[in-house]
Structures are given as C-alpha cells and as structure tokens.
Amino acid sequence: MEKLDRYRACLLAGAIGDQLGNDVEFMSRSQMLQEYGPAGVRTMSGHITDDTQMTLFTAEGMLMGLKHRMPMPACVYQSYLDWYRTQMPRAKGGVFGRDSGLMKVETLHARRAPGNTCLSALGSGDMGTLEEPVNHSKGCGGVMRVAPCGLLKMVNTPDPEDAYAIQGAQAAAITHGHTLGFVPAAMLADMVHLIVEDCGLTLEGVVKSSLARMQKLFGFLPQTAEFIRLMERAVALSASDTPAHEAIAELGQGWVGDEALAIAVYCVLRFRSSMADCLSAAVTHDGDSDSTGAIAGNILGAWLGMDGIPAHWLAQLELRDVIDDMAHFLYEAGN
Ligand SMILES: [Mg+2]
C-alpha cells in the first residue's frame, strides 16, 4: 500500500468516526440501540466535531512551524490559539492567523461541543508543557487531536524513533497537564507512525511496541503503570469471548485520555478487518462516542488505507476535501 494512502485514511477515517459519534455523544447505549437498531450506530449526521477541527489545527500548526521555523510545541500552540478564536471570536488568535488556510474555512468556525478544558487552557494565556503543566486535566481532549503528530517529524530526540511520541505528548500537554492526559496522546502518535511507516509488525505488535516506548519515555511518571495496565487489558479483552459492549464498558467511558485510547484500541483489534464494525462499536456505548470514534478511525484508517473506508461514509463526510488536502500536505512535507 502507498504511504500516502495511509496518511489520507488516517485523517479521513478519524473524521468519520468523529462525525458518526457526533449525534450520539450524549446518548446512552440503550437509547442508541432503540433509535438505530441492534447493529448500533451506522448512519452519520452531517457534522464533524471539535475532535476533527483540532486535529486539522494540529496539522496546520506543524506545517506552519516548518514554514516559519517555529519549533514544537510552540507552532501547534499558535495554531490552537487560532482554533480558540474560531470558537471565541473576540479572542486574539495565534500568530499564523492571516496565513492560516483553516481560518478561512467558514465551517470550522462552528461550535461543535468544544471541550471546556481546551477552551479554558487556551484562554489562560499560558502554554502548557510537559515540564510546566497548565492544569491537571486527564480529559480525552489531549489525545483525540494528535494523529498528525504521528505523520510528520518535528522534534529531534536521542533515539529518532521517540520523536513522534514526544511531539504527541507535547501537543496534548498544551492543554492537558495530567499524565493520563498526555501519555495516551504520545501513544496514539507513536502507533500512527509505526503503522504508516509499514513497520512490519502485526497490530498487536504495534500496540506492544508502543507500550514499551511509553514505559521507556514516561515510566518515571506516576500513573504510567496504571495506563499500561488498562491498555494491556484492552488487548486481552480483544482476544477474549467477552461481548464487545461489555468489554468496552469494562474499559470505561472514554471521557478521560487513557480510557478513550483503550476503547479505541480494543475496537481496532477486535474489528480490524471492518471499518464499519469497528467504528460502530467505537461509538455505540455510554461514553464519549465522537472521541473514541475519532481515535479508532485514525488507527484503523492508517492500517487499512482508503480501500477500508466505506464509500457512503466518505461521501457524507463534512469537510472531506479540507481533511484530504491536509493529509496530502503532511505527506508532502515529510516524504
Ligand atoms: Mg467532540
């Protein structure tokens, strides 16, 4: 498979998972089954949410960083300030403002249930870093937006393979200061990187390799062990006979970073050959459906490529061209 194909499907399937979960984010699973039938949510509303908006701004921030020679995470912070301005029109926005193609996209100025943590952290005037956390939030808003950090290398690390995880953690720590807010982001970026680089691993191998990197990079932090245990449970459940909805409920609801990644990874491992089944499972639960859908879509999209995305979902995806263009830009910048 062409590498570009994986880049495109990573962002497009992530956005589809987000859009699929949009209508049902605040519904219980039993309400969903009543409304959508026993197969779960399989039809989409018309709109992506803040997860996809912020993923796009993560990508644009990195590209602007290359263009303006601004390092991570400052470039992504400036881009998030632009996103903040789309939600709070009186805010100042970032330094890229006029140069930003995304700021000109009218649809991106719509409010789609933006996360309070993201809004308050970006409104505080301080950029959170791994060294100086801006708060103690472990919400999933840190992880749901960092797939682009797995697609373009911006930072230099002693082991070059650590770069993607580090920049994923940095992007999340801008607004989420808790270990369980930024380590899942590091892992998502690392997994996306391993998959798009066609590292020759199985999907389980990708998860295991990535968990080993989390232990190496973040094992000194409290709660990293807790994170790794939950991820290992997700892997074990995916190979068990436990019905999917019970397994997902055991992993949590996904409002926090570690649970969101665990649910997404579970769904990807369990339903790896079907994007439709994977994303349906990833949104048909009691928790944060759009974020778990977005993360699962990022991972399985990278794994299956464009052929794995149901055509009718792709046709209904809001901002499809903007998302697809961004995947091309990231690919061209890094390859
Ligand atoms: Mg959302």
Helical (H) or strand (E) element with 204: helix 203-218
Distance between Cα 332 and ligand 1 center (Å): 28
pLDDT at 153: 97
Q: In whole angstroms, what is the distance from residue 275 CA to residue 287 CA?
A: 20
Distance between Cα 168 and ligand 1 center (Å): 18
b/e map 51-81, b = 16+ CB within 10 Å: bbbbbbbbbbbbbbbeeeebebbbbbbbbbb
Taking Cα atoms as reference points, which of 223, 302, 229, 311 lies closest to residue 2? 302
Distance between Cα 200 and ligand 1 center (Å): 33
Distance between Cα 201 and ligand 1 center (Å): 31
Handedness of CA 305, 306, 311, 315 (dihedral sign): positive
- pLDDT tens over the chain, length 335 residues: 899 999 999 999 999 999 999 989 889 999 999 999 999 999 998 899 999 999 999 999 999 999 999 999 999 999 999 999 999 999 999 999 889 999 999 999 999 999 999 999 999 999 999 999 999 999 999 999 999 999 999 999 999 999 999 999 999 999 999 999 999 999 999 999 999 998 899 999 999 999 999 999 999 998 999 999 999 999 999 999 999 999 999 999 999 999 999 999 999 999 999 999 999 999 999 999 999 999 999 999 999 999 999 999 999 999 999 999 999 999 999 99
pLDDT at 97: 81
pLDDT at 199: 86
Distance between Cα 139 and ligand 1 center (Å): 12
DSSP one-letter code for 274:
-
Distance between Cα 112 and ligand 1 center (Å): 7
Distance between Cα 335 and ligand 1 center (Å): 30
pLDDT at 56: 98
Burial-class residue 132 by CB neighbours within 10 Å (0-12, 13-18, 19+): exposed
Domains located in the chain, CATH noted: 3-334 (1.10.4080.10)
In the chain, the amino acid numbered 22 is N
Distance between Cα 316 and ligand 1 center (Å): 18
